[in-house]
Amino acid sequence: MTPLFHCQELAKSFATRKLFQELSISIFPKERIGLIGSNGSGKSTLLKIIAGVETADSGKISLSRGLKIGYVPQASIFPDKTVEEILFEALAEEKQLASYEKDVLVQTWLSKFGFENQEMPANSLSGGWKKRLSLAKELIISPDLLLLDEPTNHLDLEGILWLEKFLVREAPTYLLVSHDRYFLQNTTNKIIEIDHAYPNGVIAVNGSYSKFLENKELFLKGQLETERALNSKAKREEDWLRRSPKARTTKSKSRIDDAHELFEELSEVKQRNKKERVAIDFTASDRKTKKLVTAKNISKNMGEKPLFDHLDFTLSPGTRMGLMGPNGSGKTTFLRLLTGEIAPDQGTIKRADQLKIVYFDQHKAQLPDELTLKEALSPNGDFVNYRGKPIHVNGWCKRFLFSPELLALPIKKFSGGERARIAIANLMLESADLLLLDEPTNDLDIPTLEILEESLLEFPGAVVLITHDRYLLDRICNTFLPLGDINCREQFASYAQWEAHAISSKTPTKPKKEKAPSQAAKKPKMSYKEQREYQEIEGKIAQLEKEIVALNCQLDDPKTLQETCTAIALCEAKMEQLYIRWEELEKKK
């Protein structure tokens, strides 16, 4: 099978920073690939290179003829135009489509993504709805390959679950960057990891994310065994070189050359097996208080909207509470109540004397771009004070996998995940009884997430966590407080319990039969024209089904593949509009 995209020995650097080199990957039709790797390994940059937004320093890139690529970046900025206008602009280059076909496509994709108000200004949308519009803007052109950079950012749990199902149903081939492990498990059939631990810096495994983890573990174990075997052989050769005089024989020279090659191979394998880890360890106070925060009967409204009502809870050392609920349900407001920044409308919150609270705010943690790494990590000079001991900034930056050579580099040169590590470094300098974490996982790579999880499990104080990372919630939290449902005041012991409650609460109950009114309300009747239209719809749908069957038979011809796929998509869009219209007329009938 011919790949849609292939790159060979790709290399990319920014100033003195090498992102990757000798990188070779291929993308085939129907592959749903998850691209993972540590922060700063070049995942987002690779997507930009494939999309044509950036160029590689060296290497070869091959694209299949006429390849159409859709690219959804981490953050989307839209002009002052309506969502409908944004989609029409996306179709501007589709010269083969008639205006009515473009109109059908726009209405179809707005409906698929749940946009009820077509006149909504795109620049006024929330982060989650901007993400939906970005996806619609790329999918409407029927791309052969869709590139997604952190697609779950800004989405609440409900939005992430929707996106999982939508991608599997609507996007046949894609490459996505994500650190959401459950999302990777549910949406991919191949994993590619960029890491210096592998030969040529990359490994690709066909199958789910869980299968990738199994294969990765086997590979790394095998590589450690290879290092041990090479080490033993190298010691023997080293002894031989010490004992034997420098011989002139061809055989001895050959053995000396082989020995040097062996030493180089051993050095490379050792370097690959060397694994650096971020050192995350929150500073806890030595408080022995059993109750850090006690809340009784608290309620809070946002304007006329009730966020939560008559809540009771206690935060003690060892409590790790996950706040659950959609965006806008009051999770961040709940954290502000705990800090005392705002007061409840009703009820009381009692805090232990001199309670030390450390609050990670996803927005306030953002650092100015012009700051250097040194100024961001150690704003008060060359030393930081960690647990009462001074640590030089060179040693402090190494704890978070930054080279001292990068200290003079401005923050804007670092990836989102690296900036998140800097924010966590600042968080660790403060001692705490209570950690309040508002989306601390955004942009963090998977190895750093695992270290963060271990650190939170070991933290002796209390933790209140807002995150959309289901894996993190599942592993860390021992109590779950749902917000957004004014009638639910109970807490849950596990993520699975909360999820079961959330699903059951959405199950529609069967409405009670009501007595028919004495005079039925008049229904709008179909006009003669609508009756004719209604009678013709079934035939039109049948004709479109025949066309799709005929077009599917042409998919084997690579010369007309693009045109055939476009024709099929248009037929399906027309059918969907006919079904929608049929339902409208059926109600009148």
What pLDDT does residue 60 have?
93
Q: Using the predicted structure, report yes or no on whether residue 375 has a pLDDT greater than 80.
A: yes
Residue 148 CA, distance from chain mean position: 9
Rounded-to-integer distance, Cα 152 and Cα 161, Å: 10
Chain segment 164-206, per-residue pLDDT in tens: 988 988 888 999 999 999 999 999 999 999 988 888 888 999 9
Are 12 and 42 in contact by the 8 Å Cβ rule? The answer is yes
Highest averaged pLDDT of the listed ranges 71-75, 234-238, 440-444:
71-75
Q: Which residue has the higher pLDDT, 463 or 545?
A: 463
pLDDT digits (tens, 9 = 90+) for 445-460: 888 888 888 888 988 8
pLDDT digits (tens, 9 = 90+) for 198-248: 888 889 999 999 999 999 989 888 888 888 888 888 788 777 777 765 544
Please name every residue paired with 438 in a beta bridge, in sequence order, or none if there are none.
Answer: 361, 466
Q: How many CB atoms lie within 10 A of CB 375?
A: 17
In the structure, what pLDDT confidence band is assigned to residue 565 with cuts at 50, 70 and 90? low
Look up tokens 């009502």; give the residue.
309
Lowest mean pLDDT among 137-141, 400-404, 489-493: 489-493
Query: In 3D, which of 562, 555, 558, 568 has the Cα closest to residue 143?
Result: 562
Residue type present at position 309:
D
Q: What is the structure's pLDDT at 115?
A: 87
Rg (CA), the chain: 29
Residues 112-160 have pLDDT tens digits of: 888 888 888 998 888 888 888 999 999 999 999 999 999 988 788 888 8
Place of tokens 């999820």: 499
Strands (E), 283-432: 283-284, 293-302, 305-315, 320-324, 346-351, 357-361, 383-386, 389-392, 431-432
Residue 513 has pLDDT above 70, yes or no: no
Among 143, 203, 191, residue whose Cα is nearest residue 167? 143
pLDDT for position 506: 58
pLDDT at 516 over 60: no
Q: Are strands 346-351 and 357-361 parallel, antiparallel or unpaired?
A: unpaired
What is the model's pLDDT at position 170? Answer: 86
The distance from CA 551 to its chain's CA centroid, rounded to whole angstroms, is 36
DSSP reduced 3-state for 247:
coil
Residue 43 clears pLDDT 80, i.e. is over it: yes
Alpha helices in 18-125, H assignment, sequence order: 43-51, 83-90, 99-112
Query: How far is 370 from 360, CA to CA, in rounded Å?
Result: 21
- The values of phi and psi at residue 5, to 5°, are -140, 140
Closest CA to 39 of 17, 11, 55, 57: 17
The average pLDDT across 251-273 equals 75
- How many angstroms from the chain centroid is the CA of residue 304? 34
pLDDT number for residue 519 = 41
Residue 299, number of CB atoms within 10 A of its CB:
15
Higher pLDDT, 34 or 423: 34
| pLDDT class of 260 with cuts at 50, 70, 90 | confident
Residue 521 has pLDDT above 80, yes or no: no
The CA distance from 402 to 372, in Å, is: 13
Type of residue found at 285: S
Mean pLDDT for all residues in the chain: 83
For 272, half-sphere exposure in the C-beta direction (CA atoms, 13 angstrom radius) is 24
* Pairing state between β 293-302 and 305-315: antiparallel
pLDDT value of residue 138: 93
Return the pLDDT at 365. 61
pLDDT computed for residue 91 by the predictor: 92
The beta strand positions in 163-261, using DSSP E, are 174-177, 190-194, 202-206
Range of lowest pLDDT (231-245, 315-329, 488-502): 231-245
Which residue has tokens 């995350």? 280
pLDDT value for 209: 93
CB 8 within 8 A of CB 417: no
Q: How many CB atoms lie within 10 A of CB 235?
A: 11
What's the pLDDT at 289?
A: 77
Which has more confidence, 175 or 38? 175
The residues, any chain, with a CB within 8 Å of residue 192's CB and separated by 6 or more, are: 25, 33, 34, 35, 36, 202, 203, 204
Question: What pLDDT sits at residue 589?
Answer: 65
| Average pLDDT for 523-542 | 76
User: What value does the mean pLDDT take over residues 431-439?
Assistant: 90
Query: Which tokens is 278 given?
Result: 């971020």
Strands 202-206 and 479-482: unpaired
